[in-house]
């Protein structure tokens, strides 16, 4: 069942140019495949149902599979990650129900499920790293990556005390421990921040104004509603590539950006107008073709 769905999916998209308001069909659409409560179900019924309800999801899976085959070889690390994910899932499901779970996903065996779902997911995750390897400087510039040390608190008095202590030589991590800083986001350790990290815009502007490494902002930074106060040292104006890549790869928008990048690279095109409309409703950013 899973294989036939993938074949239908391939028929809907292969090609380099779009056809205006085209629609795809299936041969022998009136051939009866099954009968349910006296109602005949034809090949045409199944195909229309696929297009209406499952085509977008199936196609994204199929296209992802094609892209990772070109871009992401199965390394020992990726395979181990996939095996760990599978084992974690198996630990959550009763042994007696495992086979039932596999059947419910539409795959015929655990091996097929592993190769076409779990390993594919691990390779898809790695696609973001492949994208960053090829485009790291551009992405770093767009996201304005910086390495900083931050102490955060909800009282101005504490922030002022910490600023003076750090000016006097105390490390930011010691300040966080001694003055009980808020460690939910910032621990005082060097970490990469970007223009998507959620720092207040006025604070971010001050961070970007720093042009030399290891510079302590000489005043307490604050959120405009005065609910958060920060002591900040800019450690690296240009974040080291390894730290930047690790931080950027966890941003969901970059994962989507990477996928769109490869859709463009491989000329992803949807011919069928019904499927096109499905993408437009569910994943419009994936429609990279020129209409």
In this structure, are 18 and 74 located in the same domain? yes
pLDDT at residue 189, as a whole number: 98
Q: Rounded to whole angstroms, how far apart are CA atoms 95 and 262?
A: 39
* Residues above pLDDT 70, as percent of the chain: 81
Q: What is the mean pLDDT of residues 86-97?
A: 92
In this structure, are 177 and 204 located in the same domain? yes
Q: Rounded to whole angstroms, how far apart are CA atoms 166 and 175?
A: 7
| pLDDT higher than threshold 80 for residue 11 | no
In this structure, are 39 and 96 located in the same domain? yes
Q: What is the mean pLDDT of residues 44-48?
A: 54
In this structure, are 252 and 278 located in the same domain? yes
* 263 and 288 Cβ atoms separated by less than 8 Å: yes
Residue ranges making up the domain that contains 101: 2-140+248-286
In this structure, are 64 and 182 located in the same domain? no
CATH of the domain at 202: 3.10.50.40
In this structure, are 182 and 205 located in the same domain? yes
* Number of structural domains the chain divides into: 2
pLDDT at residue 276, as a whole number: 84
Q: Rounded to whole angstroms, how far apart are CA atoms 60 and 63?
A: 5
Helices 273-282 and 55-71 sit at what angle, rounded to 10 degrees?
80
Q: Is the pTM of this model over 0.85?
A: no
Q: 3-class SS at 144?
A: coil
* 271 and 167 Cβ atoms separated by less than 8 Å: no
* 174 and 238 Cβ atoms separated by less than 8 Å: no
* 24 and 271 Cβ atoms separated by less than 8 Å: yes
Angle at 267 between CA 8 and CA 279, to 5 degrees: 55
In this structure, are 44 and 122 located in the same domain? yes
DSSP 45-83: HHHHHIIIIIHHHHHHHHHHHHHHHHH----HHHHHHHH
In this structure, are 166 and 203 located in the same domain? yes
| pLDDT higher than threshold 90 for residue 186 | yes
pLDDT at residue 61, as a whole number: 84
| pLDDT higher than threshold 70 for residue 19 | no
In this prediction, residue 274 has a pLDDT band, given cuts at 50, 70 and 90, of confident
Q: What is the mean pLDDT of residues 155-161?
A: 98
In this structure, are 130 and 81 located in the same domain? yes
Q: What is the mean pLDDT of residues 231-243?
A: 98
| pLDDT higher than threshold 50 for residue 8 | no
Q: Using the 8-state DSSP alphabet, how is residue 272 labeled?
A: B
Q: Using the 8-state DSSP alphabet, how is residue 216 labeled?
A: E
Q: What is the mean pLDDT of residues 255-263?
A: 95
Q: Does a structural domain hold residue 135?
A: yes
pLDDT at residue 54, as a whole number: 56
Mean pLDDT of the chain: 86
| pLDDT higher than threshold 80 for residue 94 | yes
Q: What is the mean pLDDT of residues 196-210?
A: 97
Question: Which range has the top average pLDDT, 11-15, 34-38, 104-108, 245-249?
Answer: 245-249
In this structure, are 200 and 56 located in the same domain? no
User: pLDDT (tens digit, 9 = 90+) per residue, 102-116?
Assistant: 999 889 999 999 998
Q: What is the mean pLDDT of residues 153-172?
A: 98
In this prediction, residue 95 has a pLDDT band, given cuts at 50, 70 and 90, of confident
Diameter over CA atoms, the chain: 85
Q: Does a structural domain hold residue 291?
A: no
Q: 3-class SS at 289?
A: coil
In this prediction, residue 29 has a pLDDT band, given cuts at 50, 70 and 90, of low
How many CB atoms within 10 Å of residue 213? 13
| pLDDT higher than threshold 70 for residue 97 | yes
Q: Does a structural domain hold residue 71?
A: yes
- Burial, 45: exposed, middle or buried (Cβ in 10 Å; 0-12, 13-18, 19+)? middle
């Amino acid at each position: 069942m899973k294989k036939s769905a993938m074949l239908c999916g391939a028929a809907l998209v292969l090609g380099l140019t779009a056809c205006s308001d085209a629609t795809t069909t299936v041969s022998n659409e009136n051939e009866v495949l099954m009968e349910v409560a006296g109602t005949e179900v034809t090949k045409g019924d199944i195909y229309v149902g696929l297009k209406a309800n499952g085509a977008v999801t199936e196609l994204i899976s199929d296209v992802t599979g094609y892209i990772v085959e070109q871009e992401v070889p199965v390394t020992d690390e990726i395979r181990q990650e996939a095996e760990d994910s599978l084992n974690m899932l198996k630990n959550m499901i009763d042994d007696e129900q495992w086979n039932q779970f596999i059947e419910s996903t539409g795959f015929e065996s655990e091996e097929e499920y592993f190769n076409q779902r779990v390993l594919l997911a691990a390779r898809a995750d790695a696609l973001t790293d492949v994208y960053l390897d090829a485009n790291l400087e551009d992405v770093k510039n767009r996201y304005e990556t910086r390495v900083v040390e931050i102490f955060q608190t909800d009282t101005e008095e504490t922030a002022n005390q910490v600023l003076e202590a750090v000016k006097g030589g105390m490390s930011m991590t010691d300040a966080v421990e001694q003055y009980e800083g808020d460690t939910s986001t910032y621990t005082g350790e060097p970490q990469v921040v970007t223009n998507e990290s959620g720092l207040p815009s006025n604070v971010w502007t001050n961070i970007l104004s720093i042009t030399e490494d290891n510079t302590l902002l000489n005043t307490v930074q604050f959120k405009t509603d005065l609910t958060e106060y920060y002591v900040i040292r800019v450690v690296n104006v240009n974040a080291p590539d390894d730290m930047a890549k690790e931080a950027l790869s966890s941003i969901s928008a970059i994962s989507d950006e990477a996928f769109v990048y490869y859709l463009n690279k491989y000329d992803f095109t949807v011919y069928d107008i019904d499927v096109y409309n499905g993408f437009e409703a569910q994943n419009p950013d994936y429609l990279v073709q020129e209409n």
